[in-house]
Structure formats: C-alpha cells, structure tokens
Chain A
Amino acid sequence: MTLLSIKNLTLAIGDTEILHDVDLSMQAGEIAAITGESGSGKSMTALSVMGLLPTGSKTTGRIMLDDTDILDVTEKHLCTLRGNVMGMVFQEPMTALNPVQTIGAQVAETILIHEGTTKAQAHARAADMLRKVGLDMSPNRYPHELSGGQRQRVVIAMAIALRPKLLIADEPTTALDVTTQATILDLLRDLVREFEMGLLIITHDLAVVANIADQIIVMQNGRVVESGATQTLLRNMQHPYTKALFDASRHRVDLPPKIAGDPLLNVKDVARDYPMPRTTVFGKRPKFRALDAITFQIEQGERVGLVGESGCGKSTLTHAILGLEDVQRGQITLAGSPVFTDNRPNLSVRRRMQVVFQDPYSSFNPRHKVRRLISEPWHLLPTPPADADASITRALREVGLQAGDADKYIHEFSGGQRQRIAIARALIVEPDLIIFDEAVSALDVSVRAQVLDLIADLCRKRRLAYLFISHDLTVVRGVTDRVLVMKAGQIVEQGDSEQVFTAPTHPYTKTLLAAAPRLPELDKV
C-alpha cells in the first residue's frame, strides 16, 4: 500500500527554485532513504512533506500522504496531521528540545495536543514511551541533564508517541558519535518494524543508507537523479552522479610507502587535569582528568592516525602538542626540544609544526585576504622570507590553487577550496609535522576524496609527517601508517593501521569498528 507519494514537487523560496519536479513514493512499513550532498534539497523535501517550509516558499505538485494532499490542505488540518499521522526527528539533538521543560512534559505534549486525555494519563503514556525508546530515567529530568544520544531518544519518543504512519528523520545521527549512531539506527529500525511505520530517512552517509534502507533516492541540485530498491540500485547504478557519489565514499587514497626516519615527536607519560565546579562551597575543586599517561612517538615522514569519540581528549592532546597549553605531568618534545618551557610555548619548536582545523568556515578571519591569511605562520620566523610573493604563489600552486587567489577574500571560496587554503597555510613554513584535526570531516564525500588525494600527493613530493585526527575510521585507515585509539583520556590501543583495523585487540576498538557503518563490497552483493 502506498503511504507517501510525491509527484512533480517544485519548490521556490523567493525567486530561487530549490526543488525541481521531485518524484518519489514509498510503501507503508518501508524504510526509504534520501541521500545526496549538501545543497541537494533533501532536507527541503522532508520539510515539504511536514508542511514546515520557511515563510515565502511556493510549492507546486502533489504530496499525497494516504489520501490527503499535504499541499492542498489548510494549516489547521496540517496541525492535526503533524505529530499524529506523521512525526519528525531532527539533526541537532542538543537544540531540538525546549530547555525549560522536562522531557516527560515535552513527550506528553504530543499526546495532549491531539487527544482529549487527562494530563495524568498523557504523562503516564509519555513515561511509557520514554522507556520504549530505551531511556530508563525519570521523565522529570531537563534536557540539559541528558547526553546527545539520550536527547535524540527523547525527540524520537516525541515523534512516535502517537504511532504515526510516517516518521521522517533528517540526518538523525549526524551529530552523534559512531557507537551512539549505531544504537539510534537500531532503535529506529526496530520501532519501524514494530509499529509498521514508514520511515523516510535523510542522510549524507551512504554507508548508513546502504545498511538501513529498503529504497534509496539519490538527489542532486534539487532533483531526484535516481531511485530504486537498495539491492537493485547498489548493483546496477544508472546515473553517473550516483556512481560518482558511491565511488567517492569508497575512495581509497593511494598513499606512497613510508620512508622511515629519525624520531620526531615524542609524547611521554602526559597527563592533563581540568578543574571542575565545586561540589561543596569550601571544598577542594574536583578534577577532571582529560589526558592520562599518554605515551607515543611519531617518526619523521610517518603518518599517524588518532581515533576516538567526542570528549575522549583528542583536542586537549592537540593543544598540548602544539604547546598552546601546558600539561601537568610528562613531557612533549619535538626533535628533542620541549614544546613548552618556563610557562610559555617554545616558538622555535612551534615553527616546525602546523595545524589544519575541521571547520573551513571558521578557520579564517573573514576580514583578511588570502595572502595575509596563509602567510600568518611567518610570524614564527625571525624574519619573513625575502621572496614572500613567490612563496605564497608556490604554496597556493602546491594545493592546486592559482597565484591570483592570493588577493581574494575567504568568502569567495568553497568549503573544499578553503581546506586547501588551510593546508597551504600549514605548508608555508615547511613544517616537519602537521596536525590534521578532523580536517575532512565537514566536507562532502566527493570534495573529501579530492582533499585526501591532495594530502597523499603532498606525501609524494616531500617527507611529511602528520597526526591525522578523525572520528571516521575508514578515512583514517586510508591515509595513515599507524593508528592510536583513544578513550576517556587514555590510548587504549596503538599499532600498524591495517593490523588494528583488521585484527583489533582492545574491546573498545572492536566496538568502534563494529558500530561503524560500512558500504557493502559491491562485487560480493
């Protein structure tokens, strides 16, 4: 039985047409996944179904949910459908809940709005629903007391409280850690089967799509380019964009072999504590141990990966290595010299290290030109190089940009180009070690593949050592020789990348690897 059918949906906001002739249909009890890169229109399609488009949107076409045309009913009628016949789960669980209401009250509200039950009954049913989604806690808690994964469970409980026929989930696990992602996906799958709901899931992660969906819909620039049953589509892709998308996410970097060298970075028995708020008025402030007995080395020309979930101490470690913060115990040296001496960072050592950050949008001062942005590390040199212009041009060319780009502002570049500029900034002082701090995590798959290729290419041209920090295990595996696995401030496992990924020894590494969604090997499907 067809649950949802979208015909010729066109959406314009102002004068810009966002969606063009979108067609899709799904059955009751089916899981359909819309996938595509940013700007493909997948979220807007979902919001159209909910009737929650931004003001100033104009739509044509038909969205049939059972026998109702969503585009043709009054707002009042839509309100009776939302939360009742169709529910929605959003991407960002940290902000999706009202901070001043208890979680129980927020779930109960769905019930109260649509059914004439008493408050007590609604709250009792809300408590049941919270248990159903695996939250074994008092419904009187407030959102800020919950973790991201727990909050996402509350949002799910809210969306399914009245057992809607259609559940829409817009990137429901993108903001979550990989182990949490796995449990949330399992929960969604189980609920769909139990309640016989239809689930329309929107995600950019093709591995998630391949693992959960019965049907895949691929979108690009506001159009559906291809759709079909998962197995059929994976085996027999028709549209070149679909092929390119899957190729890019399966992309293996051609990393040149490591040329062994002398030890470069030496991290020895490092510990870092942060003071926490007092629990008693005059008592000692308790401490949170962010880093605990961290010991590892990086040789010249060696490429090392660091994986771990949020809050494991990855960024604290980055700051400590860069000498931005001192450590309480242990020592960090680069080629024998400590990175931090006498309460201040050692700038002569810092000169030999650079960093590339995650967010291509906040990594650059929007008020400076590229020339000034990428030459900032020269501040570390006693005197700027004599051939400044030539060095800037060389650095830009090296990352695949033009000499003329030096006189542009950062907003004139795309996300991928910005990460190239960030790499140029890191290369300009010819460092021995670069730290890539989630440097490709914010990029779309095709752009990510290009940036990873660039890094491999740089390794061919010079002997580059780097520490590649990422939560994405597949990426780390492709671009590193050796990998460190971090959990709660400790390195729980380290070793040769292939070794760790194929035969992990620590239980946590095993959990991580099991939780990470993987694209099926297509030849074997």
Chain B
Amino acid sequence: MTRNIIFGGVLTTLFTGLAILSFFYTPYDIQSLDIPNKLHPPNGANWLGTDHFGRDILSMIMMGARTSIAVAVLAVGIGICVGIPLGLLAAARRGSLLDEVIMRGNDLVFAFPSLVIAILITAIFGASAINAIIAIGIFNIPVFARLSRGAALPIWERDFILAARVSGKSSFRISIEHILPNITNLMIVQGTIQFSLGILAEAALSYIGLGAQPPTASWGRMLADAQTLTSIAPHTALIPGLAIVLMVLGLNLLGDGLRDWLDPRLRRGRV
C-alpha cells in the first residue's frame, strides 16, 4: 500500500512545488493580455496553450494551484483548530449537557446544505478568497469535532485513562496527554481528505464567481471562462479540470496510503 503514498505524494508535491515556484517564476506574466495569441492549443512556446485573452495556461495553472492550496489549507486549519478541541471537550464531558449541545450544534451545521451557506456567506460579505476560506472552514468544524469525539470515546473507556485518573490527572490534561496523541493519525488522514474536498469546494465557488476574484488566478474561474469555448478550444476546459482531478486524486491516494500505513492493526500484520 506504500504505492498509494508514493503516487499520491508525487502528485501532491508536484502541485505544491508548482504553487511555491509561482512566487518566484512563471513562464509568462498572467497579468498582461496578448489577444492576438488567444486560444492557441498546447505548443512549444506555450506548453499548455493560451486562453481567450492569450494568457499562458501553464502560468495560470501555477498561480491557480497557489490559490487552491492556500484556501484549502486554511479552511482545513479552521476545521482542525476549532473542531478537534470541541470534539475532545465533548468526549471529556460525554453524556453531559455540554456534550449534547456541541453534538446537536454539529448536527445543525450538517443540516445546512454547505454550498448554499457558502454562497450566502460570500454573497453577504462579498466574493473573495478570505470569505471562501471561512465558508469552507465552517463546514470542516463539525467534521473534525464529530470524528475526534467518536475516536476519543473508546479511548476514554480504556484502562490507561482510568490509571491516569487514579493518578489525579484532570480531564483536560488527560485529553492533551493521552487522547490527542492516540487520535493524531486519524486526524492526519481526515485532514488530507478534507484538504482534497477543500480544493473541490474552492473550485466550485470560484466557478460560480464567488471565490478568488480576478486578477487572482483560480482553476474554477478558468473553467468558468472556458465554458462557452469548449467546442472551439477544448484544451481551455480540459487542462484546468485535469489539474483539479490530479491534485484531488493525489491527496486522496496519499490519505488512503497514510491510513493503511499508520493503522497499527495493519502494520502489525505486515511485520
């Protein structure tokens, strides 16, 4: 199963590398328009062709990778930083009113169609990358809260937690010292999955014009621009779409591979 880690890792590194490289170098400047050279298919000068303004698609993909990754990472960060403490708190106070409130709150967020709320948020506060991050991030909170609570509950039943309580440790301390290290693997795996979902969500939001605004490049916006051109210049729609698919595929493979690799049950079987 390390094949998944290698393949997923290579794809993830490739796109992350392109995003980082775009800070220092892109083949062309994506701000300058070159209308005479519009809609060229891939060729020697523009490896991935040009779009309807004659901009280099490879450069756009590099800049778009930056936007996608930044939005997705920050959105997952919101989910992790708020969701995991909430989940651990609910698990530490399991059965209490606080637990009930946290879990019902999660259910409530799940009941809202996430995309509709994301649209609502960006519509109210204006379309921007920051608001896209917040909109996607909010829906990551219940995912991590529910998962960390679910993973923490059986650990709370284990004898070593009882031993820690006998040693006089507070439930806060137990959560940090004993629970958190034992659910980290699971959170890393879920993190990569949410990361890939974040990429997809960012693409969807910018496709309908509610994500990063021009001149910031984004894959979703490139697809929106290409929509009416699919019949005359299919590469303008295919390339950004493939970029999304490969990035998401890479992250999912990485997540699957990590899960198999980190799962002690499976690893023991391998030794």
Contacts and interface: CB of A to CB of B under 8 A. Distances in A.
A376 B164 CA distance: 7
Interface stretch (B65-73, B154-162, B235-243, B245-253): B154-162
Interface string B50-90: 00000000000000000000000000000000000000000
Contacts of B264: 366
Interface residues of B, number: 15
Interface string A367-404: 10000000011111000000000000000000000000
A353 B167 CA distance: 9
A367 B182 contact: yes
Interface string A326-346: 000000000000000000010
B178 interface: yes
A425 B160 CA distance: 11
B104 interface: no
B167 A379 contact: yes
A358 B162 CA distance: 12
B168 A380 contact: yes
Interface string B8-27: 00000000000000000000
A102 interface: no
A286 to B, nearest CB: 17
A347 B165 CA distance: 11
A379 B177 CA distance: 13
Contact of B163 (A347, A350, A358, A376): A376
Given A324-B162, A365-B160, A376 B181 contact: no
B159 A359 contact: yes
B168 A350 contact: yes
Contacts of B168: 345, 347, 350-351, 379-380
Contacts of B182: 365-367
B45 interface: no
A246 interface: no
Interface residues of A, number: 24
Given A345-B168, A379-B169, A355 B181 contact: no
Contacts of B116: none
A357 B159 contact: yes
A362 B158 contact: yes
Interface in B87-115: none
Nearest to A410: B160
A187 B236 CA distance: 76
Contacts of A367: 181-182
Interface string B184-224: 00000000000000000000000000000000000000000
A9 B198 CA distance: 56
A221 B166 CA distance: 38
A501 interface: no
24 contacts: A324-B165, A345-B168, A350-B166, A350-B168, A355-B163, A357-B162, A357-B163, A362-B158, A362-B160, A363-B158, A363-B159, A363-B163, A364-B160, A364-B163, A365-B160, A365-B178, A365-B182, A366-B264, A367-B181, A376-B164, A376-B169, A379-B168, A380-B167, A425-B163
Closest 7 CB pairs of A and B: A357-B159, A363-B159, A362-B158, A377-B167, A380-B168, A379-B167, A347-B168
